[in-house]
Amino acid sequence: MRSMKLISTNKIVYKGGLIMKCVFCGHQLAKDTQTIERRIKTHLVCVKNVPVDSCHFCGEVYVDDNIVSVTNQILHFLKDQQISNNVVVDFKTFLEQSAANLNNDSKRELHNLVTA
């Protein structure tokens, strides 16, 4: 399995709804979801269903800065919990549960963060 690099799509501009192309091979990118794996100490953390743009030709994966930010929030949250086993987190479920604990202004900010 090819290792995934997190590349910010904010450095590659979407203009007027044009479809973004892979910077490596020039093929069209498609909206997709992937599992991102990271380690917290000796434990594996899998964040499932992370929204990405991926090139189906060369396999390059691009993750928006806002999505990276939320993924980092998940990892920091788990690090603070001092996990003792490997963990699997669903990205969308984490967002929904986080939003349920926020006031309306914070919910809008979280929604804007992910949909920006």
- Predicted TM-score of the model (pTM): 0.70
Domains annotated on the chain, with CATH: 9-115 (3.10.20.860)
Query: CB of 74 within 8 A of CB of 91?
Result: yes
Q: Which band of pLDDT confidence, cut at 50, 70 and 90, is reported for residue 1?
A: very low
Residue with tokens 């000796």: 42
Query: Exposed, middle or buried, 115 (CB in 10 Å: 0-12/13-18/19+)?
Result: exposed
Mind listing the pLDDT tens digit for each residue in 49-106? Answer: 999 999 999 999 999 888 998 999 888 888 888 788 899 999 999 888 887 776 555 5
pLDDT on residue 5: 46
The token duo for 103 is 């006031």
